[in-house]
């Protein structure tokens, strides 16, 4: 029986270890793993237009216009809900279309998902990468539900006042202003206590407060009310993970990926670590490799889990190659000491040829 490097599972706690991970913010950062979003807000909620004023207000704002079309290419006549998600996980604002058009503002760059839902149409989504300031325009085409499609109940819409409270709360979270976020969330809760957006907001705030068990409770309710929301399932899986409930975390994380195959690297990485804890090493390897690839260099520490999974399945030389690559590319990261120790352990055990 081969001996794995005696290093324990290299576990990132989403909210507490930011000092060890420069890509995290000082207080919360990465969760969910970006669950505090780079917020996108309805333009009219900001009292700004979608051009230069928005850019001036945010310093580096980007006006985002979403055009929603029916199959013929014409603007849909039905009012549609347009949601934006940061990194596939983080709610980044929502609004309704007017004459097939919706406008929002992003005040940072990055990868977003546009999700459009309208009565009588299949839900649609489109990935958007915002890489420069100015204006971005996106076209989304909806397909009508076929007569053979199962009936999907309409998702409840938030009243304008409640919607604004939710948006304001996420804006405060993005600015790391938890007291202000809680104030807006309290208003949203008083106006629409059972709405999935409000429940999700409550769960996000509880996660930021590190109240894992309460976050789990609220996020479970959110997923029951709206079982189509991938980000809620991802957040639930992360809340379970932070409580050490690795087996339980697998189900919602897998559900999140099923609902949104384009889910970001953080969901995949959390699921890979849960697989590893279950001793499902082949699945951990495949999922960690997918997470590393989709992270586009944002989270190089994932390579340590790749190496550990390779070791667990007996691919020692491949593990060593991954560790050497990490040390070559990231010699100054804190994890470099861990990678070096793993490499030395493999050599000491005679699993690899020393170099």
Tell me, yes or no, whether 155 lies in a domain: no
Same domain, 205 and 343: yes
Residues 22, 63, single domain; the answer is: no
Report if residue 168 sits inside a domain.
Answer: yes
What's this model's pTM, rounded to 2 decimal places?
A: 0.59
- The residue segments making up the domain with residue 27 are 18-35+160-348
Does residue 353 form part of some domain? no
Residue 212 clears pLDDT 80, i.e. is over it: yes
189 and 224 part of one domain? yes
134 and 268 assigned to the same domain: no
Which CATH number characterizes residue 112's domain? 2.60.40.1120
**For residue 155, how far is the Cα from the chain centroid?**
21
Confirm if 144 and 136 have CB atoms less than 8 A apart: no
Please indicate, yes or no, whether residues 127 and 200 belong to a single structural domain of this protein: no
- The answer to whether 63 and 50 have CB atoms below 8 angstroms apart is yes
The reply to whether 137 and 25 lie within a common domain is no
Total domains, the chain: 2
Whether 166 and 158 have beta carbons less than 8 Å apart is answered as: yes
Residue 21 corresponds to which tokens in the numbers above?
């991970």
Per residue in 243-285, pLDDT tens? Answer: 999 999 999 999 999 998 888 788 999 999 999 999 999 999 9
Query: Out of 154-168, 214-228, 307-321, which region has the weakest mean confidence (pLDDT)?
Result: 154-168
Looking at the structure, do residues 213 and 310 belong to the same domain, yes or no?
yes
- Is the per-residue pLDDT at 293 higher than 80? yes
Alpha carbon distance 283, 269 (integer Å) = 11
The predicted-structure confidence for 113-170, as pLDDT tens digits, reads as follows: 888 888 877 888 888 877 776 678 888 888 877 543 343 455 677 788 998 999 899 8
Query: Percent of the chain having pLDDT more than 90?
Result: 43
Together in a domain, 55 and 177: no
150: Cβ contacts below 8 Å, ≥ 6 apart: none
What residues pair up with 67 in beta bridges, in sequence order? 101, 139
Residue 148 in any domain: the answer is no
**Same-domain pairing of 289 and 329:** yes
Do the Cβ atoms of 93 and 86 come closer than 8 Å? Answer: no
| Strand order across the beta sheet in which 124-130 lies | 90-96, 81-86, 110-117, 124-130
- Specify the CATH number for the domain of residue 253: 1.25.40.10
The arithmetic mean of pLDDT across residues 219-229, rounded, is: 90
Which whole number is the average pLDDT over 3-15? 38
Residue 323 sits in the same domain as residue 176? yes
């Amino acid at each position: 029986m081969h001996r794995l490097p005696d290093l324990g599972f290299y576990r990132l706690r989403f909210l507490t270890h930011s000092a060890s991970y420069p890509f995290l913010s000082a207080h919360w950062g990465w969760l969910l793993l970006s669950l505090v979003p780079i917020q996108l807000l309805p333009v009219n909620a900001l009292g700004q237009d979608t051009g230069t004023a928005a850019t001036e207000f945010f310093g580096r704002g980007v006006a985002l216009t979403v055009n929603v079309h029916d199959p013929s290419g014409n603007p849909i006549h039905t009012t549609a809900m347009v949601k934006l998600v940061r990194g596939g996980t983080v709610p980044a604002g929502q609004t309704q279309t007017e004459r097939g058009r919706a406008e929002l503002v992003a005040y940072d760059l990055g990868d977003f998902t546009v999700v459009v839902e309208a009565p009588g149409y299949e839900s649609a989504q489109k990935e958007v990468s915002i890489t420069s300031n100015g204006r971005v325009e996106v076209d989304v085409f909806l397909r009508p539900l076929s007569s053979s499609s199962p009936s999907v109940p309409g998702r409840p819409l938030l009243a304008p006042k409640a919607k604004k409270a939710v948006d304001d709360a996420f804006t405060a979270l993005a600015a790391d202003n938890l007291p202000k976020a809680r104030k807006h969330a309290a208003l949203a809760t008083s106006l629409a206590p059972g709405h999935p957006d409000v429940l999700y907001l409550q769960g996000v705030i509880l996660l930021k407060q590190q109240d894992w068990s309460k976050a789990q409770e609220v996020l479970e309710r959110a997923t029951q009310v709206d079982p189509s929301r991938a980000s809620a399932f991802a957040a639930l899986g992360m809340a379970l993970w932070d409580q050490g409930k690795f087996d339980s975390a697998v189900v919602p994380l897998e559900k999140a990926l099923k609902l949104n195959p384009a889910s970001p690297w953080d969901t995949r990485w959390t699921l890979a670590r849960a697989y590893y804890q279950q001793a499902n090493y082949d699945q951990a390897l495949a999922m960690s490799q997918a997470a590393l690839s989709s992270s586009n260099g944002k989270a190089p520490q994932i390579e340590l889990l790749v190496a550990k999974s390779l070791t667990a399945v007996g691919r020692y030389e491949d593990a060593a190659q991954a560790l050497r690559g990490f040390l070559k590319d990231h010699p100054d990261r804190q994890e470099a000491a861990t990678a070096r120790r793993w490499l030395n352990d493999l050599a000491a055990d005679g699993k690899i040829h020393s170099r």
